[in-house]
A and B are shown apart, each in its own frame.
Chain A
Amino acid sequence: MLPRMLAYAVRRLLSFVPLLLGVATITFVLLHVLPGDPVLSMVGERYDAETIARLRAEMRLDDPLYVRYGHYLGNLVRLDLGNSYVTGTPVWDSIRERFPATLRLAVAAMSLSVLFGVTIGVLAAWRRGSALDYLLVGGAVVGVSMPVFWLGVLLIYVFSMRLGILPASGFGNGGLAYLVLPAVTLAMASTAYVARITRSSVLDEINETYVKAARAKGAGEARIMVRHALRNALLPIITVVGVDFGSYLSGAVLTESIFAWPGLGRFTLDAIMKRDLPAIQGSVLFMAILFMIVNLAVDLLYARVDPRVKLGRPAS
């Protein structure tokens, strides 16, 4: 089992190379056909043609596209993401500065949504058709449809301005208090989604014969739910969680903006607004790598959770 998983992981990691080349190329091309000019973002409102020409030359923006593309790939091979046009600092440094905040928020939000989502989903499935079920499912619909912005503002209003028990924004001293509101805000939609997926997959499993067999053997209801139904319902839940986690790791622009959270999402948004090409290319590439790693981890987890899943072979 393990050697096969390892071989599979290595093969998948190798497949990242052409994928990343594709991502790098598409990003590069897209950025260069969009309207806008990075030099104009740098100069303020008043500038003259000479200054623009000098800066363009300095930034090698006048080189033909294929020369710049070659230059960009050459740097990538040397693991150099280049320097930001706007700040003049290495893009990798900026990513490294912000990624811990993003990771912290993503892990906190994911933990909340798995914890509450799975619990709510199992309870709703267990009491299917009851008032409790309707309440929980209704709550999940509300949760999924609640705009992040509105929820964030509401939480700040209640917990910071009215009750005064939590800081409104920022990373602060890194204390847990600063993490609570952004994590709850970010987790809300995926909690609700995980709850719905859990409920429906557990319901599917409950009608399977092995559950009936367990019940016939006299197993307790809680044991049936968790050990039998939930365990077998995990695959779709892992899929949903994996996708959400991947996207959280690339930064949550809205949540980060409302809570002044110094993560990757705002960095990328700022870079896009300022046409800071190296910063955009670097962060998109970084996000792509994260996404691929999370996907790989999800696939490996499938095999671990469900022995029927055979890695690296076409499904029979």
Chain B
Amino acid sequence: MTPRPGAAAVAGMLAVALLAGCGREHSAPDVLELALETAPNRLDPAFAVDVAEGEICTLVYDGLVGLSPGGEIIAGIARDWEVEDDRRYVFHLDGSARFSSGRPLRAGDVVASFQRVLDPATASPRTWVLDRIRGAREFQQGAAAVSGLAARDDSTLVIELDEPFAPFLSMLSLPAARVVDVERLDGAGLPVGAGPWVVAEWVRSDRIVLEPNPHHRRRARHLRAVRYRIIPEPFTRVAEFESGTIDVLEIPDAEAARFRDDPASAPRVLRRHEMRVFYVGINNRRFTDERVRRALNLAVNVPEIIRVLAAGEGVPAHGSIPPGLPGHRERPGYGYNREEARRLLAQAGYPDGLSIEMWQRESTEGNRIAEAIQGYWSEAGVEAKLVRREWSAFKQAVSAGKVDAFLLDWFGDYPDAENFLFPLFHSGNAGGGGNRAFFSDPEVDRRIVAASRTVDDDARAQAYASADSLIYARTPWVYLYFPTTLHVVSERVSGYQLPSLYLGNDFSTVTKAP
């Protein structure tokens, strides 16, 4: 008489599921569907600090120069440029460049955009991108204009630096150096830009929809929109990809082998050497004896960490300049040798081993690596206590030099070795500037600065390589690895290029089959 409740419950849920199934959306043929792990906080280029913000800003805002998917500097708003005296840049603007509102873009807009970033009233956290321009510091302290920044006429812009700085051109591709119409906001409350895409819809908690800027010469011809959905969980992103509702997936480590080794998906898997390095920074002020730092390296089996924790995707770091960047060199590593590590520790006055506190920020990836290192160290007599902190608390303590060691990674902002060596090892950047290991060596400082003044690209790469060798020989860190990420592209999508850096894509060549 009475229906069985278990059956009723299952039947009820199934009925709802089936009914609901009718309402399911399929991904549209001319909309590229992508996923972001975290919701961007700001899409204004003066405030973009993380990778997702940077990627979207690059699509919406053009700069004087841009990056190709391969990471080379390409013309942006500037058609071409000359460099005079190694420090004065004369840019000739592309006369056809227009904002998405249709207004022509003039050299004065570039000046206004740069001053907007530098203006203390804007409170941009990215002023360092532009503060090498002559007069930038004075402007920040109240001068009326940046003296090294001038629109000679509507289509000619002159930028003069305090001193020669060869990576400057590369830095101009960063979001903070992108051009906005300082007078106008678009429908999403953002400054109007001149990039190939326009923000058509921004629901902060859920999605960002971009549509082609009709005035851009490299606008997408085959796509009606790019839609980014915010999906925090890796498993959910995989499920969405496999259900055909997102088109490009950065494969989580745990799934890498499945996609890479399955003949059905393997041809659609793209591999990228990240401009990123994982390392354990050792507080060089506390551990002044190089033998101790060397021993901490010798105790860790990095290839095994890559094999087990990163599905074999990564390159052991024997230096800090990632593969693919000029200045990267293959060099012999310290090796994995527990006995040698113990011997060095004994020589350095720790015959019974050593206790060390290693800090890390909250992250699943980091937790696993930290525990592996803790395990390897303990086999060599080093007792490590792991301290996990939220990002800002981590930065606060680590940048103040209050910890023994810390696990961290460094993400390149722009494709130049300077972006690794200068912040990470120049003594002037000790602490918050990036050199959290408090490494200090006058010869290294001198070489890094000399390299950044070397305008010839080959000579500069060589100079960075030699500085990197010198640093590696001094053992400031426990060098871990350069990660490689795998991405898989839906079979409906063609023409998708995986950019070598987050700044390097415009989706102009992408088509999507129905």
- Of all chain A residues, which has the CB nearest B230? A260
Q: Give Cα A46 to B18, complex, Å.
A: 51
Contacts of B395 in A (CB 8 A): 37, 40, 45
CB atoms of B432 and A48 under 8 A apart = yes
CB atoms of B128 and A46 under 8 A apart = yes
Asked if A25 is an interface residue, CB under 8 A from chain B, the answer is no
Asked if B19 is an interface residue, CB under 8 A from chain A, the answer is yes
CB atoms of B123 and A58 under 8 A apart = yes
CB atoms of A36 and B243 under 8 A apart = no
CB atoms of B128 and A48 under 8 A apart = yes
A28-49 vs B, CB cutoff 8 Å, 1 = contact: the mask equals 0000001111111111111111
CB atoms of B240 and A262 under 8 A apart = no
Contacts of A167 in B (CB 8 A): 24-25, 243, 245
User: What is the minimal beta-carbon distance from A253 to any residue of chain B, in angstroms?
Assistant: 10
Contacts of B230 in A (CB 8 A): 260, 262
Asked if A52 is an interface residue, CB under 8 A from chain B, the answer is yes
Contacts of A176 in B (CB 8 A): 16, 19-20, 23
CB atoms of B50 and A44 under 8 A apart = yes
CB atoms of B243 and A164 under 8 A apart = yes
From A209-217, A268-276, A295-303, the one touching the partner chain is A268-276
Q: Give Cα A275 to B392, complex, Å.
A: 8
Q: Given A52-B432, A161-B242, do A267 and B205 touch, yes or no (CB 8 Å)?
A: yes
User: What is the minimal beta-carbon distance from B57 to any residue of chain A, in angstroms?
Assistant: 13
Contacts of B12 in A (CB 8 A): 116
From B77-85, B158-166, B231-239, the one touching the partner chain is B231-239
**Quick one: which of B392-415 are within 8 Å of A by CB?**
392-393, 395-397, 410-411, 413
From A70-78, A151-159, A241-249, the one touching the partner chain is A151-159
Q: Given A42-B49, A101-B205, A267-B205, do A36 and B393 touch, yes or no (CB 8 Å)?
A: yes
Asked if A120 is an interface residue, CB under 8 A from chain B, the answer is yes
A155-175 vs B, CB cutoff 8 Å, 1 = contact: the mask equals 011011100111111111101
Q: Give Cα A266 to B21, complex, Å.
A: 26
Contacts of B23 in A (CB 8 A): 173, 175-177
Asked if B433 is an interface residue, CB under 8 A from chain A, the answer is yes
Contacts of A88 in B (CB 8 A): 42, 47
Asked if A257 is an interface residue, CB under 8 A from chain B, the answer is yes
Q: Given A36-B392, A55-B125, do A165 and B24 touch, yes or no (CB 8 Å)?
A: yes
Q: Give Cα A27 to B50, complex, Å.
A: 28
User: What is the minimal beta-carbon distance from A131 to any residue of chain B, in angstroms?
Assistant: 11
**Quick one: which of A107-122 are within 8 Å of B by CB?**
116, 119-120
Contacts of B195 in A (CB 8 A): none
A interface residue count range (under 10 / 10 to 19 / 20 to 34 / 35 or more) = 35 or more
Contacts of B368 in A (CB 8 A): none
Asked if A98 is an interface residue, CB under 8 A from chain B, the answer is yes
CB atoms of B390 and A36 under 8 A apart = yes
From B1-9, B338-346, B451-459, the one touching the partner chain is B1-9
CB atoms of A40 and B125 under 8 A apart = no
Q: Give Cα A41 to B49, complex, Å.
A: 10
CB atoms of B233 and A257 under 8 A apart = yes
B413-433 vs A, CB cutoff 8 Å, 1 = contact: the mask equals 100000000010000010011
Asked if B13 is an interface residue, CB under 8 A from chain A, the answer is yes
How many of B's residues come within 8 Å of A, CB to CB? 65
User: What is the minimal beta-carbon distance from A111 to any residue of chain B, in angstroms?
Assistant: 11
- Of all chain A residues, which has the CB nearest B12? A116
User: What is the minimal beta-carbon distance from B349 to any residue of chain A, in angstroms?
Assistant: 33
CB atoms of A120 and B5 under 8 A apart = yes
Contacts of A49 in B (CB 8 A): 432
CB atoms of B21 and A165 under 8 A apart = yes
- Of all chain B residues, which has the CB nearest A54? B120
- Of all chain A residues, which has the CB nearest B24? A177
CB atoms of A166 and B24 under 8 A apart = yes
Contacts of B50 in A (CB 8 A): 44
CB atoms of A170 and B232 under 8 A apart = no
Q: Give Cα A157 to B397, complex, Å.
A: 41
User: What is the minimal beta-carbon distance from A88 to any residue of chain B, in angstroms?
Assistant: 7
Q: Give Cα A47 to B41, complex, Å.
A: 18
Asked if A130 is an interface residue, CB under 8 A from chain B, the answer is no
Candidates B21, B243, B391; contact of A161 at CB < 8 Å: B243
- Of all chain A residues, which has the CB nearest B422? A46
Candidates A116, A120, A168; contact of B240 at CB < 8 Å: A168
Contacts of B25 in A (CB 8 A): 167, 172-173, 175
Candidates B9, B126, B233, B389; contact of A260 at CB < 8 Å: B233
User: What is the minimal beta-carbon distance from A226 to any residue of chain B, in angstroms?
Assistant: 12
Q: Give Cα A160 to B389, complex, Å.
A: 36
Asked if A94 is an interface residue, CB under 8 A from chain B, the answer is yes
Asked if B293 is an interface residue, CB under 8 A from chain A, the answer is no
Candidates A45, A168, A175; contact of B20 at CB < 8 Å: A175
Asked if A51 is an interface residue, CB under 8 A from chain B, the answer is yes
Asked if A136 is an interface residue, CB under 8 A from chain B, the answer is yes
Q: Give Cα A165 to B17, complex, Å.
A: 7
CB atoms of B205 and A262 under 8 A apart = yes
Candidates A52, A54, A98, A156; contact of B239 at CB < 8 Å: A156
12 CB-based A-B contacts, threshold 8 Å: A47-B125, A47-B433, A97-B204, A116-B12, A120-B5, A123-B5, A139-B6, A169-B239, A170-B207, A175-B24, A259-B236, A260-B230
Given contacts A97-B205, A258-B233, 8 further A-B contacts (CB under 8 A): A35-B397, A44-B125, A101-B205, A132-B5, A184-B13, A260-B236, A262-B203, A263-B205
- Residues of A with Cβ closer than 8 Å to B? 34-49, 51-52, 54-55, 58, 86-89, 94, 97-98, 101, 116, 119-120, 123, 132, 135-136, 139, 153, 156-157, 159-161, 164-173, 175-177, 179-180, 184, 257-260, 262-263, 266-267, 270, 273-275
